């Protein structure tokens, strides 16, 4: 297959309003932003609005799955998800104040109706862990009381709690911005949407081959502090595994082992395992040490999975 790479400068609102479907693949990490990242996101937007300056969110990497329609998000899901959660908070504020623009935002950013089949198609889907929460509380209009009940659920996964807290954080900021001397004003919402459509920008990098996407992901993020050792290691292992049964076997073992750990716990787990087997290594050099020892399928099988052949019978032995 001939591979290609396309880059384009995009405004987030314009990108999310198109009749496309972005999906977060199963092997990507769950939603991870905390109140700190969400508040910084909000501050960047409001600062840009006040000073009439564009804000660049950074590059996102996607893989084109179907011609012109379906894209896998390899890098950038936190920023895209949070942008949509902000738009959901705005939509819900319109809805609470009986403004018809609530439905306009709903159809523009969260789903579109196929004029032939009349089916509603989502524009953004998350991985299995997060998608039900995203569909139920972000794509759909739900009262805050429903969110409060969900947050009280002891079985709620940590990353889904972060999605709901992200929404509540941004909704509180919207409420404050749109309440002046006890009176409601909706004009700031139009200003925010205009900024998202005309000043909040990204560079979208589209690749056709998954291996190319992983390589680009690794290059963009190896020196960044935003991603954990788990993100980088998972990316490297899936890239080495190649396509087909090998990668599917590796994905299965990865999730069986780490599904109950968050980023910090998983990173500690990986580090302790590596030190016990191979000696001490500086935290900043851990990913490179693992990557350099596992450049081939055989090396990955030997170092991380035991001696069984990847894609046949992988024995995860951490």
pLDDT at 11 over 60: yes
> Can you read off the two tokens belonging to residue 232?
């980088």
Beta strands in the chain (DSSP E): 5-11, 21-23, 55-66, 70-75, 111-113, 120-122, 124-125, 179-180, 183-184, 200-207
Phi, psi of 202 (to 5 degrees): -140, 165
Cβ partners under 8 Å of residue 68, min gap 6: 20
Between CA 116 and CA 120, with CA 117 as vertex, the angle to 5 degrees is 115
Q: What confidence tens digit (pLDDT) does each residue in 217-246 have?
A: 666 655 443 455 676 677 677 777 766 666
| Cα torsion 193, 197, 199, 205: sign | positive
Nearest-angstrom CA–CA distance, 245 and 234: 16
236 CB neighbour count, 10 Å cutoff: 21
Nearest-angstrom CA–CA distance, 286 and 79: 26
Q: What confidence tens digit (pLDDT) does each residue in 37-46 have?
A: 999 999 999 9
Q: What pLDDT is recorded for position 293? A: 78
In this prediction, residue 308 has a pLDDT band, given cuts at 50, 70 and 90, of very low
Nearest-angstrom CA–CA distance, 250 and 9: 34
Q: What pLDDT is recorded for position 54? A: 92
Q: What's the pTM value of the predicted model, to 2 decimals?
A: 0.71
Helix axes 77-96, 101-109, angle to 10 degrees: 160
Q: What is the Cα 110 distance to its own chain's centre?
A: 16
> Can you read off the two tokens belonging to residue 99?
């403004």
Cβ partners under 8 Å of residue 24, min gap 6: 72, 73, 77, 81, 125, 126, 127, 130, 131
Helix axes 158-177, 144-151, angle to 10 degrees: 150
pLDDT at 253 over 60: yes
Distances (CA, A) of 294 to 14, 28, 80, 232, 310: 41, 20, 32, 13, 13
Q: What pLDDT is recorded for position 167? A: 98
């Amino acid at each position: 297959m001939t591979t290609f790479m396309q880059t384009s400068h995009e405004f987030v609102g314009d990108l999310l309003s198109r009749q496309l479907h972005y999906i977060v693949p199963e092997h990507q990490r769950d939603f991870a932003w905390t109140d700190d990242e969400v508040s910084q996101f909000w501050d960047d937007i409001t600062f840009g609005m006040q000073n009439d300056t564009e804000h660049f969110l950074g590059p996102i990497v996607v893989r084109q799955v179907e011609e012109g329609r379906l894209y896998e998000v390899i890098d950038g899901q936190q920023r895209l998800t949070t942008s949509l959660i902000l738009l959901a908070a705005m939509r819900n504020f319109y809805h609470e104040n009986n403004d018809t623009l609530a439905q306009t935002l709903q159809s523009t950013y969260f789903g579109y109706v196929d004029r032939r089949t009349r089916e509603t198609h989502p524009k953004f889907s998350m991985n299995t862990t997060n998608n039900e929460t995203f569909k139920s509380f972000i794509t759909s209009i739900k009262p805050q009381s429903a969110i409060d009940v969900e947050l009280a659920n002891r079985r709620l996964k940590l990353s889904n709690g972060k999605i709901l807290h992200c929404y509540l954080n941004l909704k509180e900021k919207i409420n404050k911005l749109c309440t002046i001397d006890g009176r409601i004003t909706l004009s700031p919402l139009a200003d925010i949407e205009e900024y998202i459509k005309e000043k909040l920008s990204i560079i979208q990098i589209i690749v056709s081959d998954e291996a190319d996407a992983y390589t680009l992901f690794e290059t963009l993020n190896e020196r960044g502090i935003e991603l954990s050792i788990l993100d980088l290691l998972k990316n490297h292992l899936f890239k080495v595994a190649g396509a087909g049964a090998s990668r599917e076997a590796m994905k299965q073992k990865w999730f069986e082992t780490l599904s109950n750990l968050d980023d910090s716990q998983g990173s500690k787990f990986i580090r302790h395992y590596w030190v016990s087997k191979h000696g001490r290594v500086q935290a900043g050099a851990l990913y490179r040490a693992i990557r350099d020892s596992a450049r081939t399928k055989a090396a990955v099988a030997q170092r991380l999975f035991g001696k069984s052949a990847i894609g046949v019978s992988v024995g995860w032995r951490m």
